[in-house]
Amino acid sequence: MNGFIIDPTYRIENNKAYIQFYGRLENGESFLTIQETKPYFYIKKSDLKKAKECAGFEHEECSMKDFHEKEVVKIIVAVPPEVPKFRKEFEEKGIVCYEADIRFVYRTIIDKNLLGCIHIEGHHQKTQYVNRVYREPKITPAVFEPKLVVLSFDIETSMKADSVFSIAVVAKNYNTNKITKKVFLVSDKEVKHAVCVKTEKELLMQFIQEVQCIDPDIITGWNVVDFDFKVLRERCKHHKIPFILGRSEEETKVRIESQFLRESSVNIVGRQVLDGIALLKNSFIKLDDYKLDTAAHEILNKSKAIAFNNDKGKKIEDLFKKHPEELVEYNLKDAELVLEILEAKDIINLIIKRSMLTGMQIDRVSASIASLDSLYLRETKKRGYVCNSSGFAEREERIKGGFVRESTPGIYDYIIVCDFKSLYPSIIKTFNVDPLSFQKDGTVVAPNGAKFRNEEGILPKLIHTLWQQRDAAKKKKDAVASYAIKITMNSFYGVLASPMCRFYSPEMAGAITSWGQMIVKESAEQVEKIGYPVIYGDTDSIFVETKAENYAAAHKIGEFIAESINHYFEKKIKEEYQRKSYLELEFEKVYSRFIMPKIRGTDIGAKKRYAGMLSDGKTEHLNIVGLETVRRDWTECAKEFQMTLLKRIFAKQEVAPYIKKFVEEVKTGKHDALLVYKKALGKEVGEYTKTTPPHVKAARMLEKIDSNIIEYYITVNGPEPVQKLKSKIDYDHYIEKQLKPIADSILVFFNQAFDDVVSGKRQKSLFEY
């Protein structure tokens, strides 16, 4: 029977360790496998005599070696807590320990070469919490499409959260497509669409029973960890109810962190709790803020059942007392929206695919260092090598970033962009950048001096495998799998540059960026030799002025440039490195009209900031990168102003009348709703001591901070939070600090200035220059 691992864990009984895999079988039943397993790590064979001075471990001869070809032996202990104990004792004696940091559960997953899915053979029995429990089964890798059960829930409480009024549950079984919707409500009367109970204690017991009945693999919600679970744990404790939501008799553990930069967690045996907010962020879905209403509006074009602006707590209490049917509707809608958002973005499928790529459990698929470990250690094991134990290392030096060519500011027609497909992964593959091949006798020498052996390494092999899988996913039109693979591939460079990684090497990471700089710089030089000016270059892209008269001509030039550069590098890499080039410059897009602004107050071109009208030969749309429109620290007012200005400029329309009119509208309060600043707190409010930015001043006026995103106005008396706006808005601030810089960045190309346009001193047409 095939199954998908949801929660890999272990238990210690009678000084023996048992690996436990909880999950969902392909027939829809839940499962648990239990296998006795002994932890181990390695030391050099030459250190064994010294190590034997410490008693209490077994050792085993093996054919493994370290990266310097030194023979090692396996050190075997009884239970996982003994590994760090022996590591400490050994290292105090000067003995190097290999792979002593690998989590016990992941050691087993790696050894068995499991990637999320497993095949189970053996006898099983049913228990109270699990459909099939296998003891000492045979487990081997498998591949199939898991279908899980996902439950979203939401609670409504009193203002002080010392009483739970209702709990909404929405669950979907993706194996049967069965959907469950229920709202449990404390009420003496019957309420439409609700399961009514008389006491809070009964409400909590009904919820726990419902979770066990649905038997979800994933439990989610919105801010469900920091609020809903925290409240439920406290109320269960108050009523002396066992808070058992998992697939064992063990109570649910809730760890709440008070700081924004640390994530709270909930541990439910056999299940995973995945907060909806974290799922969006970890899937690289960016929103102005991560309120449920914002996410629902932007992703689903839907709103919550009731919009609460202020005093939500009081209004919830009023609904509970006077309009319970409305509370039920509101509660259920919140739980439904979370599931709909995850479905709309196919996020559950995405995390399953990422788990099946790396072998990481679904709540840790974003752990890029652990993901590389999981893949890399499988290969070193096959090749007979052991890896160093990881340990925090100080960053020795700042690793140089990608090449950024000085831009040539101006307004252009028919700019093309060519970029290198997955530049850093292709560099790793092309030049054999790899921890195992990174040796002093290497013949493949990077621009920064790092040397690599010209024998196929492990990292290039992993890249090659992932690349093939991505191509296959694209052919199947499996966008989710393709995206999951792209995320995994692109994380490898960042991992090598992290001091937390066992393979951390500034020299190795620097080799990748130095090759990247060389490649983009030489590409720009070659394009200019062909006869086309390069107005900008950025990490993996070049922006080329074609001087074409139409889209078709620009498109043809783009294809010619890409073909020429690829041929250039194929020849260069074969001759200089005796390697095959996997570098691929792609002609990506055409801007029919394009603006590269100046750095404010200078004639120097900006970097990573531009805008243009993207064209496909038939239609056009505005594309903005790095400008105020796409930055959270600029108001919606500034964004609307900039968008309209750019559209008018690209359409070769006059802008002076629009600028004057918009300024007047701001002064008269027409755009007040768009003047809100949104800024994230990077730490606790009390930790801002050296400086006090405006958003912190605003935050200090609030009795309670519900989110790390602070919304505020600048008033004549300084910053004030939206919730407590008392003073008059400082319109001059917004005109001077938000509108003027945006207008001047464009008007400068026409020898005009914002102040002159607003005052009416300059009436000349922009297009007379």
189-248 residue pLDDT tens: 999 999 999 999 999 999 999 999 999 999 999 999 999 999 999 999 999 999 999 999
Higher pLDDT, 307 or 237: 237
For the chain, give the percent of residues with pLDDT over 70.
95
Query: What is the rounded CA–CA span in Å between residue 338 and residue 321?
Result: 26
Q: Which of 191-205, 288-302, 583-597, 699-713 has the lowest mean pLDDT?
A: 699-713
pLDDT at 605: 67
Contacts (Cβ under 8 Å, ≥6 apart) of 615: 551, 590, 591, 592
List beta partners, residue 719. 714
Q: Which of 412-416, 557-561, 616-620 has the lowest mean pLDDT?
A: 616-620
**Backbone dihedral region for residue 161 (phi beyond 0: left; psi -120 to 50: alpha; all else: beta):** left
pLDDT at 259: 56
Query: What is the rounded CA–CA span in Å between residue 587 and residue 594?
Result: 17
Higher pLDDT, 305 or 45: 45
**pTM of this structure:** 0.84
Contacts (Cβ under 8 Å, ≥6 apart) of 2: 25, 26, 117, 118, 119, 120, 142, 144
Query: What is the rounded CA–CA span in Å between residue 70 and residue 287?
Result: 51
The answer on pLDDT for 72 being more than 90 is yes
Contacts (Cβ under 8 Å, ≥6 apart) of 350: 283, 480, 483, 484
pLDDT at 438: 94
Query: What is the rounded CA–CA span in Å between residue 240 and residue 341?
Result: 35
List beta partners, residue 4. 24, 117
> Cα separations (Å) of 288 from 13, 41, 656, 675, 685?
49, 46, 30, 14, 21
The answer to whether 361 touches 217, Cβ cutoff 8 Å, is no
Q: What average pLDDT does the chain have? A: 91
Question: Average pLDDT, stretch 357-381?
Answer: 93
The answer on pLDDT for 473 being more than 70 is yes
Higher pLDDT, 186 or 681: 186
Domain extents for the chain?
A: 2-141, 149-345, 404-458+495-624, 654-768
List beta partners, residue 405. 537
The answer on pLDDT for 765 being more than 70 is no
Query: What is the rounded CA–CA span in Å between residue 168 and residue 154?
Result: 5
- Note the pLDDT tens digit of each residue in 623-678: 888 776 556 678 999 999 999 999 998 988 888 899 999 999 999 999 999 999 99
Instruction: Kindly report the number of other CB atoms within 10 A of residue 520's CB atom.
Output: 25
The answer on pLDDT for 712 being more than 90 is yes
Sheet holding 30-36, edge to edge: 124-125, 132-135, 30-36, 16-25, 2-13, 117-121, 138-141
Give 189-243 as a DSSP string: S--TT-EEESSHHHHHHHHHHHHHHH--SEEE-SSIIIIIIHHHHHHHHHHT---
pLDDT at 760: 76
Query: What is the rounded CA–CA span in Å between residue 381 and residue 383?
Result: 5
What length is written for the chain?
Answer: 769
* E strand or H helix at 374: helix 368-383
SS3 of 183, please?
strand
Cα-based angle 346, 222, 272 (whole degrees, multiple of 5): 65
CA 457 to chain centre: 28
Q: 654-768 has which fold?
A: Topoisomerase I; Chain A, domain 4 (1.10.132)
Higher pLDDT, 762 or 748: 748
Instruction: Kindly report the number of other CB atoms within 10 A of residue 307's CB atom.
Output: 8
Beta strands in 447-584 (DSSP E): 451-452, 534-538, 541-545
Q: Which of 383-392, 419-428, 519-528 has the lowest mean pLDDT?
A: 383-392
pLDDT at 769: 39
Closest to 641 measured CA to CA, from 614, 660, 659: 659
Instruction: Choose which CATH entry (3.90.1600.10, 1.10.3720.10, 3.40.640.10, 3.40.50.300) describes domain 404-458+495-624.
Output: 3.90.1600.10
Higher pLDDT, 490 or 25: 25
SS3 of 457, please?
coil
- Note the pLDDT tens digit of each residue in 392-422: 544 445 555 555 677 898 899 999 999 999 9
Query: What is the rounded CA–CA span in Å between residue 220 and residue 228?
Result: 10
pLDDT at 249: 94
Q: Given this structure, which CATH class describes domain 2-141?
A: alpha beta
SS3 of 379, please?
helix
Q: For the domain 149-345, what is the CATH superfamily, name and number?
A: Ribonuclease H-like superfamily/Ribonuclease H (3.30.420.10)
Query: What is the rounded CA–CA span in Å between residue 153 and residue 166?
Result: 11
